């Protein structure tokens, strides 16, 4: 009898192989507003720390770039999976929606939606799932700038970019290698982000804040 080599069967086999490669640490889904900058950054960390791709999925939002759309897509992808991307439904312990404050009208709605989902969804092991917004005020680039400067006052995103380019010549969104370029100063950036988090939150716009440090700390210690 000839073997069935249909696309559906091939996709199922790919899923089974992916399941077999999973490690014992948490399965994490990261959905980002940006289509290149943040996915490239987190994928760099995944590669640098040799995390299994079956355990750490990094995807840009496909519903739109508004913060609430990022959160909604993270929920949809978690609940429904995506066979074309070899992502099984509910196959994660932790879900993170990464987005910027910028001037987005739905920013605070996104924070509230993520809060409402935290601990309410169940994964394929019937466990409650961590669901968190990973917000930056004003932008993801604040996190990168903290590797070089101790920011304690509000900055417009354009000023953040201007200053960052003084430290990283030619920096552009989506260019890649942001983690490799900045990782030497990761410890100091983490300390600076912690000091900001002690004073401000994602809700205290326009005060500078970023939750990226916490997600980076999680990824870099997954295998510990």
DSSP code string of 104-146: -TTHHHHHHHHHHHTTT-B-TTS-B-EEEEEEEES-HHHHHHT
Whether the Cβ atoms of residue 147 and residue 182 lie closer than 8 Å to each other: yes
Residues 109, 87: Cα–Cα separation, whole Å? 27
Q: Which segments in the chain show pLDDT lower than 50?
A: 1-2, 13, 15-20
Nearest Cα to Cα of residue 131 among 199, 47, 80, 70 = 70
Query: What is residue 175's predicted lDDT score, i.e. its pLDDT?
Result: 82
- pTM of the entire predicted model: 0.90
Q: pLDDT value at position 20?
A: 46
Helices 212-220/37-48 angle, 10° precision: 30
Rounded to whole angstroms, the maximal C-alpha distance in the chain is 70
């Amino acid at each position: 009898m000839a073997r069935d080599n249909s696309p559906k069967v091939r996709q199922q086999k790919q899923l089974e192989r992916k399941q077999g490669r999973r490690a014992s640490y948490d399965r994490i889904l990261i959905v980002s507003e940006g289509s290149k900058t943040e996915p490239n950054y987190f994928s760099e960390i995944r590669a640098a720390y040799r995390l299994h791709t079956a355990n750490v999925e990094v995807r840009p939002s496909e519903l739109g770039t508004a913060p609430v759309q990022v959160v909604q897509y993270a929920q949809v992808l978690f609940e429904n999976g995506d066979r074309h991307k070899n992502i099984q439904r509910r196959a994660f312990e932790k879900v993170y929606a990464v987005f910027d404050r910028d001037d987005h009208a739905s920013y605070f709605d996104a924070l509230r939606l993520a809060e409402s989902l935290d601990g309410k969804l169940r994964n394929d092991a019937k466990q409650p799932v961590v669901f968190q917004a990973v917000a930056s005020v004003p932008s993801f680039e604040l996190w990168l700038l903290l590797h070089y400067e101790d920011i304690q006052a509000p900055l417009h995103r354009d000023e953040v970019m201007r200053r960052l380019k003084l430290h990283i010549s030619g920096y552009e969104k989506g260019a890649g290698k942001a983690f490799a370029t900045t990782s030497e100063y990761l410890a100091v950036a983490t300390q600076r982000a912690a000091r900001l988090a002690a004073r401000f939150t994602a809700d205290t716009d326009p005060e500078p804040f970023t939750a990226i440090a916490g997600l980076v700390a999680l990824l870099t210690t997954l295998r510990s």
